[in-house]
Structure 1
Amino acid sequence: MTPRATLTALLCLAGAGTAPAARADFQDCLAGLQSQAAAQGISAQTFRAATAGIAHDPKVLELSQAQPEFKTPIWDYMAALVDEERVDDGKAAMRQHAQALANAEARYGVDRFTIAAVWGVESNFGKNLGKMPLVQSFATLICANHRRRDFFKGELMATLKIIERGDIDPSRLNGSWAGAFGQTQFMPTTFQRLAVDGDGDGRRDLVDSVPDAVASTANFLRVAKWNNGQPWGYEVRVPRGFNAGAAGRKNKKPIGHWASLGVTRIDGKPLAGEGPAGILLPAGVDGPAFLVTRNFDALYSYNAAESYGLAIAVLSDRLRGRGGIQAEWPTDDPPLSRAERRDLQVRLTKRGYDVGEPDGKVGSKTRDAIKEVERSLGMPATGRPGAKVLEALRRG
């Protein structure tokens, strides 16, 4: 037997011995969690029903430990989240669910366009809800002693309470590896605090009830101090030599202060509005600039990322019928929409590369294929899905 074969055999024997032990450890951990759930008023029946058939999920741990090798430029991020396809889908979803959005707006004081923009960014209007069972994911993270074990334990208990109350069937509680779920991707503890019954059936179902989801999102933004009489902000132009150190969402000043420094609306007209505002420079002083109000902070609170808040803000404007970002991003290789990304993936597949389903989502397989094409064309091997590599593929 070769050394490699010997090593393989030993690893197989080790795996055969440790797998039952790992399963036993997981079951012991679940037993301990059941005791803790009981202390929080969760019945044994609910716990058993929620955990029946679940097992340690290595994929959850893999995703939780993954370190992104590629940092997405802001222009690529925005192009994927705010493209014509999402705007058209959003307008169609708003027509279909006009009454639910109108009710949420009237009840919570958050305009329907902003609510719909959150819905579109979070789940593409209900098309991408996530497929990982919440209870199994949380149990895996807890029982593997994840560094955020206590956080996930709180989310598991909140999930069990959702099931106990009968809001959502356990089989429908699927989401991201970290536990965000539903049409507008609430964490279970956020659900406990802010989810509401929007359709009057006595349940808070953010998975299968659009009225519940949009009303709950409106309630979230209301609590985050959204002011329906104020815009989130708007695109501006900063003067040459503007001090980038003065920018930032938190560095809010009276609008007159920014006007005195030479900041204007993107069309050159004077700044308008009341209250303090900050200047956002997501790509530095050479890229688009935005004046942002307290309402932008409410959007930011949904996912604690300025790029995320900006995507919702711009999508909400597009859903109102307004234009998109006017200033150019500081790149000579324009970003691609999702339709263009799918075209790119189809062309890579035709060249023999395995990029998986051409769905417009750019993962490691697509990036690796792009790098190979870039090398063959004498281009820097970035792996980025930009206009240059797509045009090169179109030329053949």
Structure 2
Amino acid sequence: MKINNIVFAWLLLTALLLTAGSASAEVAETDSFKQFIHNMVKQQHFNESELRQLFKAVQIQQPILDAMSKPAEGKPWFQYREIFMTEARIAGGVQFWKDNEAALKAVESQYGVPAEIIIAIIGVETKYGAYTGKYRVIDALATLGFAYPPRSEFFLKELEQFLILAREEHIDPLQPMGSYAGAMGLPQFMPSSFRGYAKDFDMDGKRDIWTNSADAIASVANYFVRNQWRPGGPVVFPVTARGDTYRQALSKGGKPDVGVGELRRLGVDVPTQLAAGETVKLLAYQQQVGEDLWVGLHNFYVITRYNHSPLYAMAVYQLSQAIAARKLS
């Protein structure tokens, strides 16, 4: 059997980096590492000897590579939904709302993003700060940048952004903790997102998305606004369909790509408040028996800018609605 060259290279590199039975190893002096150091010195004006000294304390970790092979988004909807639509997460969202009501009200007024959407993002990402990650961010990004070729380009860019971030924010790069993918804080921002969207909402001179709820709340809202969130706009509508010709309109992603009029022609019963000329996204979610159909609008697509999975976006939406309903009850 012929092994894909990229996969073979990945396996070989991992074997070199991690000795048998070891969960971690130092960053090896590979061509990739040398090029990264060179770029950071020439393009970002870092000190080479200081960088090399820093990376002596960085660890390539096998558990991070293992976690990358089994993301939650690989589950069918009926299993994925159960992870997030729990009593604990709904009740936790209501409590988070009560604990941060002033900040949420101010942010919603300033940015136009509903409080329940912001809360649901933080709830799905970290269960309101309970699980912000157990890996050093620099270890996660270095592991995936230097030892995971399928996405090394992306993670090396994020490693670069993280080191710049640490310099800008006067943070010891060995200290911040995050997910196995290097996502940080209550909202799980990647370093590039932190640099682009994080806010110092309480004006204390720090953009603290790890322990400052107000900063985290405003940062999520700013992320949405910068991705063209439409205040007051709908997110999704449940729909039904006659026959199976509607399947012609199913496609990957979350960006609206089919007209309401076309869906109606294909037998989809779209809500009457949506004009025939409006563009939407037909979404199918697998249940244990059959599937649920929804149409996503522009704001649904904006949620997928936070995480590109339509499963993720629907989990955020449904959790947000459950939290809002519980708060009113």
Q: Evaluate the alpha carbon distance shift between residue 209 and residue 170 of structure 1 in structure 2; reply closer, same or farther with a 3 A threshold.
A: farther
Structure 1 residues 45, 30: closer, same or farther in 2, change over 3 A? same
| Residue matched to 2:314 | 310
Residues 74 and 132 of structure 1: CA distance in aligned 2, closer, same or farther (over 3 Å): same
Q: Which of residues 45, 51, 66 in structure 2 aligns to 1:41? A: 45
The correspondence for 1:290, drawn from 288, 291, 294, is 294
Q: CA deviation at 1:55?
A: 2.9
Q: Decide whether the 8 Å contact of 1:26 with 1:55 is kept in 2.
A: no
2:272 matched to 1:271? yes
Aligned residue in 1 for 2:89 = 86
- For structure 2, list consecutive stretches of 5 or more residues without a partner in the other structure: 1-18
Larger Rg: 1
Give how far 1:52 is off: 6.1
Deviation of 1:240 after TM superposition, in Å, equals 4.2
Post-superposition offset of 1:244: 1.8
Check whether the contact 2:137–2:182 (CA below 8 A) recurs between aligned residues.
yes
Q: Alignment partner for residue 223 of structure 2, among 203, 211, 220?
A: 220
Equivalent-residue separation in structure 2 for 1:230 and 1:183 (angstroms)? 26
Q: Does 1 or 2 have the higher relative contact order (CA < 8 Å, sep 6+)?
A: 2
Query: Going by fraction, where is strand more abundant, 1 or 2?
Result: 2
> 1:36-115 counterparts in 2 under 5 A?
36-39=39-42, 40-42=44-46, 47=51, 51=55, 53-64=57-68, 66=69, 71-115=74-118
Change in 2 beyond 3 A, CA 1:246/1:53: closer
Question: SS of the residue aligned with 2:201?
Answer: coil
Which residue identity is paired with 1:293? L
Whole-angstrom CA distance in 1 between matches of 2:297 and 2:72: 33
1:198 equivalent to 2:201? Answer yes
**How far apart, CA to CA, are the structure 2 residues paired with 1:272 and 1:145?**
47
Counterpart residue identity of residue 89, structure 1: G
Instruction: Tell me the distance in 2 between the aligned counterparts of 1:276 and 1:107.
Output: 28
Q: In the TM superposition, what is the alpha-carbon distance from 1:282 to its structure 2 partner?
A: 1.5
Q: Contact 1:233 / 1:290 at 8 angstroms: preserved in 2?
A: yes
Unaligned runs of 5+ in 1: 1-14, 323-396
1:143-158 equivalences under 5 Å are 143-144=146-147, 146-158=149-161
Would you say the 8 A contact 1:168–1:204 is kept in 2? no
Q: Tell whether the 8 Å contact from 1:51 to 1:136 is kept in structure 2 after alignment.
A: no
Q: Do the aligned partners of 1:255 and 1:277 also contact (CA within 8 Å) in 2?
A: yes
Take 1:192 and 1:81, find their aligned partners in 2: how far apart are those partners?
A: 28
User: Residue 294 of structure 2: SS of its match in structure 1?
Assistant: strand
Alignment check: 8 A CA contact 1:183 1:206 kept: yes
For residue 132 of structure 2, what is the amino acid of its counterpart? L
Q: Relative to structure 1, is the Cα distance of residues 73 and 150 closer, same or farther in structure 2, using a 3 angstrom cutoff?
A: closer
8 Å CA contact retained: 2:107, 2:221: yes
Residues 31-58 of structure 1: CA deviation (Å, up to 9, x unaligned): 7644433330345697478546323323
Amino acid aligned to 1:243: Y
The answer as to 2:324 corresponding to 1:320 is yes
* 8 A Cα contact 1:205 1:213, kept in partner: yes
Q: Aligned-pair distance for 1:141?
A: 3.5
Q: Distance in 2 between matches of 1:27 and 1:281?
A: 44
Whether the 8 Å CA contact 1:137–1:178 is kept in 2: the answer is yes
1:170-209 Cα offsets, whole Å, 9 max, x none, are: 4542222221121111111121122221221122121111
- 1:305 alignment partner AA: S
Name the CA shift for 1:312/1:57 in 2 (closer, same or farther; >3 Å).
same
Rounded to whole Å, the distance in 1 between the matches of 2:93 and 2:174 is: 27
Within the alignment, does 1:180 sit opposite 2:183 as a pair? yes
Q: Which residue number in structure 2 is paired with residue 355 of structure 1?
A: none
1:359-374 aligned at under 5 Å gives the runs none
Contact 2:258–2:282 (8 Å) recurs in 1: no
Number of paired residues?
Answer: 300
What is the TM-score with the length of structure 2 in the denominator? 0.78
| Whole-angstrom CA distance in 2 between matches of 1:185 and 1:70 | 16
**Structure 2 vs 1, CA of residues 199 and 271 (structure 1 numbering), >3 Å: closer, same or farther?**
same
Secondary structure of the corresponding residue to residue 59 of structure 2: coil
Return the alpha-carbon distance in structure 2 between the equivalents of residues 125 and 24 of structure 1: 33
Contact 1:183 1:207 in 2 (8 A): yes
TM-score by length of 1: 0.66
Matches of 2:133 and 2:63, distance apart in 1: 14
Matches of 2:72 and 2:154, distance apart in 1: 26
Identity of aligned residues (%): 28
Aligned pairs (5 A) from 1:372-387: none
Q: Report the CA distance shift for 1:279/1:148 in structure 2 as closer, same or farther (over 3 A).
A: closer
CA RMSD in angstroms comes to 3.4
Q: 1:109 Cα deviation (Å)?
A: 1.9
Cα 1:299/1:146, change in 2 over 3 Å: same
SS at match of 1:321: helix
